[in-house]
Amino acid sequence: MQTERYITRSSRIRGYSIYLNSKLIYGKSPTAPGDFLNQAYQDFHINYPKFHKMDNMSKLGLLASEILLKDQLYKTRYQPYEMGVLLMNASASLDTDIKYYKTVSEIPSPALFVYTLPNIVIGEICIRNNFKGENAFFVFKQFDATFMAQYVTNLFENNDLEACLCGWVELLEENFEAMMLLVEKSGSSDAMAFSKENINKIYGEENG
Amino acid sequence: MADLKKQIIAQLNLKDLKPEDIGDDQPLFVEGLGLDSIDALELIVLLQQEYHIKLSNADDGPKAFKSVRTMAEYITTHQGQKTPK
Amino acid sequence: MNSSVSIAGKGIISAIGKNVPETLEALENSHAGIGKMNWLNSAHAAKLPVAEVNFSNKELADMAGMPVSTSRTALLSMIAAKEAILEAGIPDFSSWRTGFVSANTVGGMDKTEQFYSEFVNSPQSGKLRNVVNHECGSVTSLVADRLDVRHHVSTISTACSSSANAIFFGAKLIKHNFLDIVIAGGTDSLTRFTLNGFNTLMILDNEYCKPFDENRKGLNLGEGAGYIVLVSDRVTSTLPRKPVCALTGYHNANDAYHQTASSPEGTGSFLAMKGALEKSGLAGADIDYINLHGTGTHNNDISEGTAIKLLFQPPYPKMSSTKTFTGHTLGASGGIEAVFSILALEHGIVYPNLRLHDPMKELPFVPERNFLKNQKLRHVLSNSFGFGGNCSSLIFSKT
């Protein structure tokens, strides 16, 4: 028996532009990644002071999830343990590893050290939204829609989850991009089926 | 104490706050400013960097860091001959 | 789709031994592997005890059959994975669809640190070959190539729960008929990066760690690797020596509380253990032994203990933290402790929670202090909880 699954929302941050459900909603000219993320935080009125304490990768992941989950409807629809998070990237937490290492010669920074693991971004998203379901972080050489589709499908087939936030959150020094999808068991008539092809479509859309 | 507030804001990335938003006796942790255990460790780093005071037991932190006033007092008592940078 | 996943082999290297027999002997004799820092070059060598694998990189490279320039993380991984495959003795190994799912948190950081100290003095010096395998996935690939595993290779990095998640992911790959064999577990070597980091969090004990003791002060870091060979029913039917254990339950949940600290009520740990029980179809009373996450930090032990108190009823299962032997091996701990759990089932043994003097006042149970033989064990629960709120529990059962 095949359970139905849909991509009910998507967010994409790439090239200093932000897309919601494939529509361009925000754009800035290139600056330092940290400045762009802070500016977007303000412009989207996120109001979560802990944001400023995060490393750039967590900021990027949190921003993508905030934009994705803006209407908050899932909070009435699902129990905390029914919501899972699966994220992937290529550079793990290297960006913060480097920054942390620079502090080691004087006084190592505890606030930086806690971000030297890639899955902390999942923790931050879970804390913000009170998600308690299955969560995993995979490191791949490049974006892998096949794996994403397989893994998340699996979680649904095992009845582990009712909804899943999955995506790609990659940041290393000046380069960054994120894609996040909300996958649910039912969707409106215009919702896309959750498939490898559609994931690739959302991921690659802005490439032209 | 105003300088100390500025240093706390910078060290902990409390970007939404201004020094005057922090009361001298306002609790820094939990119900007050809402700082957490990592912030406590960063305050220990701040003492070491700016005032050359070494706090070796993490449990002393919460006592010294109850409010900006207790922190200032802690600095005055422990600073000894050393002057801040 | 719901075929079972059996365990055909296991391999381990840690501070208490370079293989399964040495490990068993150390456990039986209560020989902890924690001691003075010997191999890692750190300013904290005199102050902070660690649980190092007591061999030089040269000796490890000989055991692994890899060049001495290889990251220690990969050397440890290779040694344990080879032992696991050897024990499994799968006929026509290369004819099956095989995967290597390996976890680690430091990657080739040990080599990068070597490069960095040379490079920082002069940009002309430092060997670039020391940094090419810095990345976590690179360590997995190095070993997978030598094991000749081709169908699936992946790396999981979810802090201290990494290798429990690798095992659980490996089991799913078999259950859903993507693969027939998965070598799953994890590896981590000690580096200055992790030592200094944990030190800034002030959660390292400058004496030998005392998990679940009222006066616990923190954890000791360790290094090592642990792998198990998971096989499908089809593979099992070809084995000359039938597996006696299976992975019957697994679950992962997020604590959603703090980047590094666990919630006081242990929500994530509770959900992970409860989910694993549900998956295996067992009740709390069916669990005979719990291999605790038990790091020895104030925060972990009260959080994990509170979750156990909530989920289980008296008489409580026997339980202990084997980190009192191996230290906390981070990305390797779930793999190493899976091997301990399986050994417990195979030999009917329960390990002592060393150095436990004053049991925690908040808890209605006391971890086991002695090495126990001739125990009737049918189901063992193993906990691995990591930074980022990532909590995982595995259940191993006798078949």
Comparing C128 with C165, the larger pLDDT belongs to C165
- In sequence order, what are the residues at sequence separation of 6 or more whose Cβ sits closer than 8 angstroms to the Cβ of residue C57? C68, C70, C72, C75
Cβ–Cβ contact A132 with C under 8 A: yes
On whether the pTM is more than 0.80, the answer is: yes
A107 neighbourhood in chain C, CB within 8 Å? 200
| Bridge partners, A6 (sequence order) | A184, A193
Average pLDDT over residues A101-114: 88
Which of C200, C202, C219, C300 is the best mutation test for B, with the most CBs of B within 10 A? Answer: C202
Minimum CA–CA partner of A113 in chain B: B38
Compute CA distances A189 → A72, A75, A186, C302, whole Å. Answer: 20, 21, 9, 48
Q: In which residue are the tokens 């900006």 written?
A: B68
Q: How far is C164 from chain B (nearest CA, A)?
A: 26
Q: Which residue out of C136, C245, C251, C293 is catalytically annotated? A: C293
Domains of chain B, first to last: 2-78 (1.10.1200.10)
pLDDT tens digits, one per residue of C52-98: 999 999 999 999 999 999 999 999 999 999 999 999 999 999 999 99
Q: Best interface-test mutation with A: which of C48, C155, C162, C259 has the largest number of A CBs within 10 A?
A: C259
C115 interfaces chain A, CB cutoff of 8 Å: no
Q: Looking at the partner chain, which of B14, B41, B49 has a beta carbon nearest the beta carbon of A49?
A: B14
pLDDT-based confidence at A3, cuts 50/70/90? low
* pLDDT bracket for residue C211 (50, 70, 90): very high
Interface contact B45-A114, CB threshold 8 A: no
Q: How far apart are CA B71 and CA A129, in angstroms?
A: 33
- pLDDT tens profile C349-368: 999 999 999 999 999 999 99
The 10s digit of each residue's pLDDT in A6-43 is: 999 999 999 999 999 999 999 999 999 999 999 999 99
Q: What is the topology classification, in CATH, of domain A6-207? A: Peroxisomal Thiolase; Chain A, domain 1 (3.40.47)
Which one, of C125, C399, C118, C395, lies nearest residue C278 by Cα?
C395
All residues of chain C having their beta carbon less than 8 Å from the beta carbon of residue A129 are 256
Ranges of residues in chain B with a pLDDT under 70 are 30-31, 56-59, 62, 80-85
Chain B residues within 8 Å of chain C (Cβ atoms) = 36-38, 41, 45, 58
Contacts of C388 in chain B (CB under 8 A): none
Q: Phi and psi dihedrals of C121, rounded to 5?
A: -80, -35
By C-alpha distance, the chain B residue nearest C299 is B37
Neighbouring chains of C at 3+ CB pairs under 8 Å are A, B
Report the distance separating Cα A110 and Cα C200, nearest Å.
Answer: 5
Asked: is C5-236 a CATH 3.40.47.10 domain? The reply is: yes
- State the span(s) of chain C assigned CATH 3.40.47.10: 5-236, 248-398
For residue B12, give the nearest of B64, B65, B80 by alpha carbon: B65
| A109: chain B residues, CB-CB within 8 Å | 42, 45
Q: Nearest chain B residue to C261 by CA: give it.
A: B37
C160 classed as catalytic: yes
Q: What are the structure tokens assigned to C133, written together?
A: 């395998």
CA distance A65 to chain B (A): 21
**Which residues in chain B are contacts of C260 at CB distance < 8 A?**
37-38
Q: How much is the pLDDT for A1? A: 45
**CB contact burial A163-184 (16+ within 10 A = b; e otherwise):** bbbbbbbbbbeeebbbbbbbbb
What's the pLDDT score for residue A9? 94
pLDDT of residue B81: 45
* pLDDT tens-digit series, residues C252-268: 999 999 888 899 999 99
Q: Where are the beta strands (DSSP E) in A33-162?
A: 83-89, 135-139
Q: Reduce the secondary structure of C183-205 to three states and give it as a string.
A: EEEEEECCCHHHHHHHHHCCCEC
What does the pLDDT look like over B13-24, one tens digit per residue?
Answer: 887 788 888 889
Burial class for C21, CB neighbours closer than 10 Å (0-12, 13-18, 19+): exposed
Residue of chain A whose alpha carbon sits nearest to that of C196: A108
State what percent of residues in chain C have pLDDT above 90.
Answer: 88
Q: What is the pLDDT of residues C186-196, one digit of tens each?
A: 999 999 999 99
pLDDT attached to residue A140: 87
Q: What class has domain C248-398?
A: alpha beta
Band the pLDDT of C1: cuts 50, 70, 90. Answer: very low
* Spatial separation of the C-alpha atoms in residues C328 and C319, rounded to whole Å: 17
What ipTM was predicted for this assembly?
0.74
Q: Is C31 a catalytic residue?
A: no
Instruction: Give C258-324 as a DSSP string.
Output: -SSSPPTT-HHHHHHHHHHHHHHT--GGG--EEE------HHHHHHHHHHHHHH--SSPPEEE-THH
CA distances from C394 to A44, A105, C169, C248, C278 (A): 41, 40, 11, 8, 11
